Chain A
């Protein structure tokens, strides 16, 4: 069966998947038809993108599990250590499979190493050689399950993120070690789940820290496989928050501040997000007011954006209210397993802790259209760009107070919309041709992928935008080839990221794997066995995917990438 669409990067096909795809399109269209026409038009015309439209009003986006709060210890009574371990990992897999079909986005453990060790401790599982061996095997099995299972929506894999690195016991350290070690040993072709290493001083960041060895191991694995990525707990934005409370979805979602509780990611997630097509606004301004100065145009941009953002706010609130109108029967597994931060009475008690995010894409193109310069070209232009993002953030903060809900600003990933927006804009505008020709818009506030600037410089330029994007952000370093064995260099990048204010850091490089002999590198024909049966693995929206499954926008972007 041929894949029917490339709407989503992680898709595979099956009969159920095909039925889902057909249904999804109908549902999406029905959702749009039921929305106020003005809202639907904004989405259809490419001013905005309502993410996960099929889930509109039905479910929320993503969740970091509050795994320990109501853990069902009783179910493990009377089992041997071996059985407990096997059943625990079985429980987790079932949880992923069930939850993955109850929500539209990703699932994460904020502290996979400590959570598992804590469960072990409460279950009385001893730290001994045999239990370690079984644990390592179960971890390998869980990794393979995440990589090989495509039953979500009958066609795609589960977006799972395991945050590790803060391990505070010997067994927890072993679990963190095994997650990296087993993932590394499984070779390039296994590229899920997403593993995030949380870097924190006093824990693992420096040579003298207890888990520095885990940090080094993580870096060496990244050098081979692009995973783990790094959550920089000491960055300016998050350093006041306890690292245990921080977590990231593979896609980049950040959930920290809560108007209704403590600052934490655990048991919370994003409810919904809507992204705004910034270059569209700039294209319209250039068309309607070609002779105005850059400052005048920026003012117009702010006005136009606010108009759209007002509607986006209404959409997010509508979606929030609709999700809240459901009850426990619509989220049976989650209500039973209690992965949320509070026990469910009514859904609003739960979802008010979630975030509503306003996203943006193409800051680089927008500033270039208005100033004819890349936003990082000089201080003046850079300040202009930063001020504009600050303006968007202030708006979101304002909505928190006005609406009494957790609004946040999301530095949206490029996946899907980078191609969708530009296709529509191409059909509408003849000016700005250079920007439209390349076939994609640049991810959030990222420096253009063809900038050619150094890695350090890129991090320095992007850092300040992280602090403003409180709904989530990531910086990528693009390399020509795998930095095999260079933990030292990657660590320098992590340090540079921390001092620049980067919150979440990913290392990208072309990763081609020979299906004949498992050798990886950068090639179309395997240099060892000569086979042309080669899988090309690249990062999309935070998760690694096989290149053939890329959406068109992403393919265009991958072609244009130059290394930092």
Chain B
């Protein structure tokens, strides 16, 4: 339930190919290090036929450094630089990618909400090379792990590749973990077989995927064990949502501030949990700032359409969507102001806040 983990494919998922020319890589390799261009091209063809053609059947990988060693052996001369430096040089020369639309937005959302993120790429190039490349796009900082098949020697769709990636994250396979990729056979089928929940960027854009997350998941600090009598009329079960940026002085719930904390629920899970807990169907959505999770909360309200629901926001009346207002019974608006605390005005913490009955007069 709480596996806040997302794995990504890299090429044509986060980075979109502009052009790729392997021959250019080989030419460069010959020009700079080995000479004997024709011989190198023959060796490369040989190598590919010998070691690389069956990769899609065996789901194993052979890394670029092995290829370099093969050339060294057969051409009889040693490289003048470490393999990794040569690899990076060759890698960068033979390609151009651009950042996929919405990639930063999606990654930023996930990172802010405390997800562990990782790249799992089928590539002959090592993770060290991929990391350097990601860094150039400003993406590296989002990821806890970057895993290349060149390092783990297994390729997607092998379950072993997914397991190796999960192990690095200290996690176990679970349908709560999403895998986002572009290839139906390698990414989608592979992730599914590994016990993850795949999403294809060919089905939904990264922006749509971000929307999917925003609409599907809720981050909850806690749910009151005991009904409250001070969070709106009635005995109310209070859901404290995680995350608030206001940092009001003397806030009585500072543990709800950090956006990255909290337990993740799907809207459906949370709705069922609430239904179980609140026998009298009276709840208050508090926090934290629930409006930071507005889209999923709108869905939650849909699930609980027979409930008497009160929303506590530090925002203003106009910050609340009409969809929400139509489903809510009460709202408390206004940020807590330590200088005008009150203990006599019902259901608010400071006199500047307003408690509004949206159904009065109806």
Q: How far is the CB of B292 from chain A (nearest CB, A)?
A: 27
**In the bound complex, do residue A452 and residue B227 qualify as a contact, i.e. CB atoms below 8 Å apart?**
no
B84 is an interface residue with CB less than 8 A from chain A = no
Complex partner residue of A485 from B227, B235, B347, CB under 8 angstroms? B347
B24 is an interface residue with CB less than 8 A from chain A = no
Q: Mark B84-121, 1 if CB is under 8 A from A, else 0.
A: 00000000000000000000000000000000000000
Chain A residues within 8 Å of B229, by CB: 223, 479, 483, 486, 489-490
**In the bound complex, do residue B226 and residue A489 qualify as a contact, i.e. CB atoms below 8 Å apart?**
no
How many A residues touch the partner, as a band?
Answer: 20 to 34
Chain B residues within 8 Å of A527, by CB: 341, 343
B236 is an interface residue with CB less than 8 A from chain A = yes
Chain A residues within 8 Å of B341, by CB: 527
Q: How far is the CB of A6 from chain B (nearest CB, A)?
A: 29
Q: CA A381 – CA B341 in complex, angstroms?
A: 45
**In the bound complex, do residue B225 and residue A488 qualify as a contact, i.e. CB atoms below 8 Å apart?**
no
With A520-B344, A521-B343, A527-B341 as contacts: A483 and B230 at CB distance below 8 Å: yes
Besides A454-B225, A489-B227, 8 more A-B contacts (Cβ < 8 Å) are A452-B226, A454-B226, A454-B227, A455-B235, A456-B279, A482-B343, A483-B230, A486-B230
With A454-B227, A455-B226, A479-B229 as contacts: A489 and B346 at CB distance below 8 Å: no
**In the bound complex, do residue B226 and residue A486 qualify as a contact, i.e. CB atoms below 8 Å apart?**
no
Chain B residues within 8 Å of A521, by CB: 343-344
Chain A residues within 8 Å of B280, by CB: 492
A563 is an interface residue with CB less than 8 A from chain B = yes
Max chain B C-beta neighbours (<10 A), residue from A482, A488, A519? A488
Q: How far is the CB of A504 from chain B (nearest CB, A)?
A: 19
Q: CA A363 – CA B229 in complex, angstroms?
A: 29
**In the bound complex, do residue B346 and residue A484 qualify as a contact, i.e. CB atoms below 8 Å apart?**
yes
**In the bound complex, do residue A492 and residue B235 qualify as a contact, i.e. CB atoms below 8 Å apart?**
yes
Interface of A is mostly: loop
**In the bound complex, do residue B227 and residue A455 qualify as a contact, i.e. CB atoms below 8 Å apart?**
yes
Kindly identify, within residues 322 to 362 of chain B, every residue whose CB is under 8 Å from any CB belonging to chain A: 341, 343-347
Q: CA A318 – CA B346 in complex, angstroms?
A: 54
**In the bound complex, do residue B234 and residue A486 qualify as a contact, i.e. CB atoms below 8 Å apart?**
yes
With A452-B225, A563-B226, A564-B226 as contacts: A486 and B343 at CB distance below 8 Å: no
Complex partner residue of B233 from A479, A486, A493, CB under 8 angstroms? A486
**In the bound complex, do residue B344 and residue A484 qualify as a contact, i.e. CB atoms below 8 Å apart?**
yes
Q: CA A223 – CA B343 in complex, angstroms?
A: 12
With A483-B229, A492-B280, A563-B226 as contacts: A456 and B235 at CB distance below 8 Å: yes
Q: CA A163 – CA B345 in complex, angstroms?
A: 29
Kindly identify, within residues 185 to 231 of chain B, every residue whose CB is under 8 Å from any CB belonging to chain A: 225-227, 229-230
A292 is an interface residue with CB less than 8 A from chain B = no
Kindly identify, within residues 445 to 489 of chain A, every residue whose CB is under 8 Å from any CB belonging to chain B: 452-456, 479-489
Which residue of chain B has its CB nearest to the CB of A454? B226
Interface of B is mostly: loop
Chain A residues within 8 Å of B343, by CB: 481-482, 484, 519-523, 527
Chain A residues within 8 Å of B233, by CB: 485-489
Chain B residues within 8 Å of A455, by CB: 226-227, 235
Q: Mark A535-564, 1 if CB is under 8 A from B, else 0.
A: 000000000000000000000000000011
Please name 26 pairs of A and B residues whose Cβ atoms are closer than 8 Å in the assembled complex, sorted by A. A454-B225, A454-B226, A456-B227, A456-B279, A479-B230, A480-B230, A482-B343, A483-B229, A484-B344, A484-B345, A484-B346, A484-B347, A485-B346, A485-B347, A486-B229, A486-B346, A486-B347, A487-B233, A488-B233, A489-B235, A490-B229, A493-B235, A520-B344, A523-B343, A527-B343, A564-B226
Kindly identify, within residues 36 to 70 of chain B, every residue whose CB is under 8 Å from any CB belonging to chain A: none
Q: CA A435 – CA B235 in complex, angstroms?
A: 32
Q: How far is the CB of A520 from chain B (nearest CB, A)?
A: 7
Max chain A C-beta neighbours (<10 A), residue from B234, B341, B347? B234
Chain B residues within 8 Å of A492, by CB: 234-235, 280
Which residue of chain B has its CB nearest to the CB of A490? B229
Chain A residues within 8 Å of B347, by CB: 484-486
Kindly identify, within residues 243 to 296 of chain B, every residue whose CB is under 8 Å from any CB belonging to chain A: 279-280
Q: CA A564 – CA B235 in complex, angstroms?
A: 11
Q: Mark A25-50, 1 if CB is under 8 A from B, else 0.
A: 00000000000000000000000000
Chain B residues within 8 Å of A479, by CB: 229-230
Q: CA A563 – CA B343 in complex, angstroms?
A: 17
Q: CA A223 – CA B346 in complex, angstroms?
A: 10
Complex partner residue of A481 from B225, B230, B234, B345, CB under 8 angstroms? B230
Chain A residues within 8 Å of B345, by CB: 484
Which residue of chain B has its CB nearest to the CB of A493? B235
Max chain A C-beta neighbours (<10 A), residue from B226, B234, B236, B346? B226
Which residue of chain B has its CB nearest to the CB of A481? B230
Which residue of chain A has its CB nearest to the CB of B308? A488
Which residue of chain B has its CB nearest to the CB of A491? B234
Shortest Cβ-Cβ A-B pairs, 7 listed: A521-B343, A485-B346, A483-B229, A488-B233, A454-B226, A489-B229, A488-B234
Chain A residues within 8 Å of B227, by CB: 454-456, 489
Chain B residues within 8 Å of A453, by CB: 226
Q: How far is the CB of A517 from chain B (nearest CB, A)?
A: 11
Chain A residues within 8 Å of B235, by CB: 455-456, 489, 492-493
Chain B residues within 8 Å of A484, by CB: 230, 343-347
Q: CA A484 – CA B47 in complex, angstroms?
A: 80
Q: How far is the CB of A411 from chain B (nearest CB, A)?
A: 23
